[in-house]
Amino acid sequence: MITMNCPNCSTPGLEVTDDGTIDCPNCGILQASGLKVCPACGHENIFNAENCIVCKEPITILSQIMTMQSDHSQPFRLKQARSQASAIKEREERNSQHRMEGFQEIDRRREQALAEAQEAQKVHQRRVSTILFIIAGLFVIFIALFIAMSLLR
């Protein structure tokens, strides 16, 4: 059995039993293991830690009360999120601009393809019109020849 100071009342004589439970004879604190789980992020910290080593939030009730009474600022996770907000906003703005440029490129290609299709349609219509004029001209010449031959007979 190992004897340590209680993280709650600092009284010597905290007993860690072989099965992993921690018992304080003075304040009656009883923990199932030597690790404290952070209520903010869920990280397991050593049993005498006052603040989480990952998110810096107070773990013990005493630390939470002291933080609330002495420091009227925001919790660390909230500070961290707010400090990252402008970077997230800038990144999202860049991503949005990149997507918009992609959409504009797609639209430019669509308009270019539409213009090319319209030009191809005009060329096709000119060819068809030219062929029709040639056929109509040949038909007129054929009719004129037919009439001229009928008159000459």
Q: 11-56 pLDDT, tens per residue?
A: 776 665 665 566 667 766 555 556 777 777 777 777 777 788 887 7
Q: Which of 16, 42, 70 is the last residue of a domain?
A: 70
Shared-domain flag, residues 56 and 89: no
Give the pTM: 0.39
Q: How far apart are CA 30 and CA 120, in angstroms?
A: 85
The whole domain housing 50 covers 2-70
Q: Which of 20, 48, 70 is the last residue of a domain?
A: 70
Q: Which of 70, 95, 121 is the last residue of a domain?
A: 70
Which ranges of 21-75 would DSSP assign to H, the alpha helix?
61-70
- For residue 58, list its beta bridge partners: 51
Closest listed residue to residue 18, CA positions, set 33, 37, 5: 33
Residue 1 has pLDDT above 50, yes or no: no
Q: What is the CA radius of gyration of the chain?
A: 44
- If one compares 38 and 130, the residue with the highest pLDDT of the two is 130
Question: Total domain count for the chain?
Answer: 2
